[in-house]
Amino acid sequence: MTPDHQPSSRRGVFVTGTDTGVGKTWTVVGLLTALQRRGQRVRGMKPVATGCRPTEQGLRSDDALMIQAHAGQDLPYEWINPYAFEPPIAPAFAARQAGVRISITRIRAVERRLARAAELTVVEGIGGWRVPLGPRSCVSDLAARLGYPVVLVVGLRLGCINHALLSAEAIERDGAVLAGWVAMQIDRDYRTLRDTLDTVKARIRSPQLGFVPWMSRLDPEALASHLEAGLRYIV
C-alpha cells in the first residue's frame, strides 16, 4: 500500500466506474438501500458534479439529489455535493471556467462531517478513475485521501472489457483496495453479455458484487436486491 492510500478508521466505500454514464449513481442508490434494509445508518455523497441545473436554491445535480433522497434528506445539499458545475463537461474544465479550484482537502472535511452520523458512507466519484479534477489532481487522488475500499462499476457495452481491466489494474497499482466490481447492463441489446461477464471474472481478482440487468427506470428496491449478496465484501 502506498503512503497516499492509508486505510481509513471510518467505514465507507468509494464508487468509481469504467466511464461516465455507466451506472455509478444507481449503484450508490442500490448500496444505500441494501444497507438500510439491514438497519444500518448510511450517508451518500457525490463530491463533484457537472451538468447541473440552475434552481432557486443554486445549481443542483440530479445524481446528487437522487443520493440525497436516499441517504441525506435531513442534510444540506452542499454536504452531499460540495462542487456543482453547470456545463456538462469534464470537472477540471468546468471548474476552470467557473474560476474554482476543486479542493480535495475541503471534500475530505465535508465527508468527515457526513460520516460522524453514519455507520457507513458511500461516496461516488465522477467519470472514471483517472478523470482530472484539476491541473495536478484526479479522481484517484480523491479516493486516496478518503482511504475507502473501491467499488468499480462496469457498464456492459461494446469496449467495456478493456475499460474494466485497465481500470482495475490502475486502482490496484495505485495501492487502493478494490473491494469488488458491479456489472451494470446499460445496453439493452448487448449481445455478448455472458461471455463478457466470464472474461471479466476470469481476469479481475476481486469479486463480482452483483449484476444489474437492463432497467428502464430507477428502482431502488430492485437495485438493492441485485447488490445484496455482495455487501459481505464491503461491510
Secondary structure (3-state) at 181: strand
Q: Where are the alpha helices (DSSP H) in 7-149?
A: 24-37, 62-71, 77-80, 91-98, 104-115, 139-146
Angstrom distances, CA of residue 208 to CA of 15, 141, 155, 176: 14, 24, 13, 17
Tell me the DSSP string of 196-232.
HHHHHHHH--SPEEEEE---SS--HHHHHHHHGGGGG
Of the candidates 4, 182, 227, 32, the one whose C-alpha atom is nearest the C-alpha of residue 121 is 32
Of the candidates 175, 165, 181, 133, the one whose C-alpha atom is nearest the C-alpha of residue 24 is 181
Angstrom distances, CA of residue 21 to CA of 26, 50, 187: 10, 12, 11
**Is 24 an active-site residue?**
no
Which member of 5, 43, 46, 145 is catalytic? 46
- Grid coordinates of 42: 448510511
The catalytic residue positions are 46
